[in-house]
């Protein structure tokens, strides 16, 4: 049978992109990967999983294995109301809904909002998974300028002035891929601009809890609640495999997103949601989160130091106070893809940054480095190897 003939038109837009091809070699034996984008397994609270499971079985019995509400398991949503309150986002049990990871929320938003040719405004660079969620619906991307302080508000205003934008997608805190954070002053400006133009912002916030330095910043959602869909996740502060994401949206959109999810998977795993409810209600997060931070903070510091020590002066690393990534920009025109292949030969992988841009001409001289997986001395050696390889180009 010719299965290819059966594929929908939009399926072509999901085709394996160049990054997957390029990253195939990462798993070669002996290669140290700074290319990954996943939390360290050492960050999972394995020591309490039995206890949490017992609590779930005693408290919820067979209900933990039953079909449940599309909106999400109520005991988990009750806990998330408190977690969100601590982030300055005021909502109630009805207002916070669960989906299968933040990725599930991005996918549902795309399905709900994007018609072919709709314009979506994005940071340049942006999160690849968001593009994977949006691409099948055939939007046009409008790229906005970023610098070390995150999205440039004037660029947002220009974009909203000149284009009919369906929504804006931002990762304001410890962005993937750059690790950058939008400053407080800019957040206030962005909130004012989206209100002025009556624009919808999708604020994706998986990393703000992973802060290693400085003070927490308020989400843009707190400044323009009626114009923002706020998305977050337990993937980085509990375990990504449980697939627990959540969102707070303007009521009209929340109701539609529930309908979308009904058609996708009815609801997220009840057992996993119950486990998450117990993790949050039993104060485990309060004791476990500092351990995750203790695990990652020295890794980030080791990577920063190694970059400063070994990389040539013309290679600049964006400041970052948290998350999972650092972003290095080389001299203009420096080909990070060429460097990537040479580094693989020398046993180190990273992600060339160009793949995070929607404009093909951008980002050739950039790279994303992940520091959650390797230990400090491996990180140092890997950066040293990258530095030595740069000299050969």
Rounded Cα–Cα distance for residues 335 and 337 (Å): 5
User: Is 128 one of the binding residues for ligand PLP (CB under 6 A)?
Assistant: no
Q: How far is the CB of 236 from ligand PLP (least distance, A)?
A: 8
User: Is 171 one of the binding residues for ligand PLP (CB under 6 A)?
Assistant: yes
User: Is 127 one of the binding residues for ligand PLP (CB under 6 A)?
Assistant: yes
User: Is 272 one of the binding residues for ligand PLP (CB under 6 A)?
Assistant: no
- Compare residues 222 and 235 and give the one whose CB is closer to ligand PLP: 235
Q: Helix crossing, 284-310 with 376-391: angle to 10°?
A: 30
User: Is 245 one of the binding residues for ligand PLP (CB under 6 A)?
Assistant: yes
What is the signed CA dihedral for 131, 14, 356, 173, rounded to 10 degrees?
30
CB 195 within 8 A of CB 160: no
Rounded Cα–Cα distance for residues 307 and 221 (Å): 34
Rounded Cα–Cα distance for residues 265 and 275 (Å): 19
Tokens, residue 298: 């020295």
- Considering only residues 31 through 60, tell me which ones interact with ligand PLP, judged by CB under 6 A: 37
Q: How far is the CB of 373 from ligand PLP (least distance, A)?
A: 13
User: Is 264 one of the binding residues for ligand PLP (CB under 6 A)?
Assistant: no
- Compare residues 245 and 353 and give the one whose CB is closer to ligand PLP: 245
- Extract long-range pairs of 344-348: CB within 8 Å, 24+ residues apart: 344/25, 344/26, 344/28, 344/31, 346/385, 346/388, 346/389, 347/30, 347/31, 347/32, 347/385, 348/31, 348/32, 348/33, 348/34, 348/382, 348/385, 348/386, 348/389
Q: How far is the CB of 176 from ligand PLP (least distance, A)?
A: 4
Among 33, 155, 176, 366, binds ligand PLP (CB under 6 A): 176
Interaction pattern, residues 198-237, with ligand PLP; x per rule: CB under 6 A: ------x-x--------------------------x-x--
3-class secondary structure, 42: helix
The residue range among 44-52, 70-78, 95-103, 266-274 that interacts with ligand PLP, by the rule CB under 6 A, is: 95-103
Given the rule CB under 6 A, which residues bind ligand PLP? 37, 101-103, 127, 129, 171, 176, 204, 206, 233, 235, 240, 245
């Amino acid at each position: 049978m010719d299965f290819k003939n059966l594929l929908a038109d939009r399926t072509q837009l999901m085709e394996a992109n160049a990054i997957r091809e390029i990253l195939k070699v990462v798993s070669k034996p002996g290669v140290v990967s700074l290319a990954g984008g996943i939390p360290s397994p050492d960050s999972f609270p394995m020591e309490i999983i039995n206890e949490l499971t017992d609590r779930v079985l005693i408290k919820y019995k067979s209900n933990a294995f039953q079909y449940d509400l599309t909106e999400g398991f109520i005991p988990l949503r009750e806990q998330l109301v408190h977690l969100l309150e601590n982030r300055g986002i005021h909502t109630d049990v009805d207002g916070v809904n669960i989906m299968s990871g933040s990725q599930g929320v991005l996918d549902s938003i795309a399905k709900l909002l994007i018609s072919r040719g709709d314009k979506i405004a994005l940071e340049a660079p942006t999160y690849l998974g968001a593009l994977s969620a949006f691409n099948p619906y055939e939007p046009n991307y409008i790229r906005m300028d970023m610098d070390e302080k995150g999205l440039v508000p004037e660029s947002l205003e220009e974009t909203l002035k000149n284009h009919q934008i369906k929504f804006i997608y931002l990762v304001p805190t410890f962005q993937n891929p750059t690790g950058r954070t939008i400053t407080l002053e800019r957040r206030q400006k962005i909130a004012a601009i989206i209100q002025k133009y009556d624009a919808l912002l999708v604020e994706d916030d998986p990393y703000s809890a992973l802060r290693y330095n400085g003070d927490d910043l308020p989400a843009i959602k707190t400044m323009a609640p009626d114009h923002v869909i706020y998305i977050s996740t337990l993937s980085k502060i509990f375990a990504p495999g449980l697939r627990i994401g959540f969102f707070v949206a303007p009521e009209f959109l929340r109701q539609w997103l529930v309908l979308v999810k009904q058609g996708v998977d009815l609801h997220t795993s009840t057992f996993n949601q119950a486990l998450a409810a117990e993790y949050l209600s039993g104060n485990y997060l309060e004791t476990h989160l500092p351990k995750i931070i203790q695990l990652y903070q020295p890794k980030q510091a080791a990577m920063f130091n190694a970059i400063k020590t070994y990389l040539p002066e013309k290679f600049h690393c964006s400041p970052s106070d948290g998350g999972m990534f650092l972003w290095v920009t080389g001299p203009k025109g420096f080909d990070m893809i060429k460097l990537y292949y040479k580094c693989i030969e020398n046993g180190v992988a990273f992600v060339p940054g160009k793949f995070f841009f929607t404009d093909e001409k951008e980002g050739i001289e950039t790279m994303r480095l992940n520091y959650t997986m390797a230990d400090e001395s491996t990180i140092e050696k890997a950066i040293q190897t990258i530095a030595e390889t740069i000299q050969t180009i």
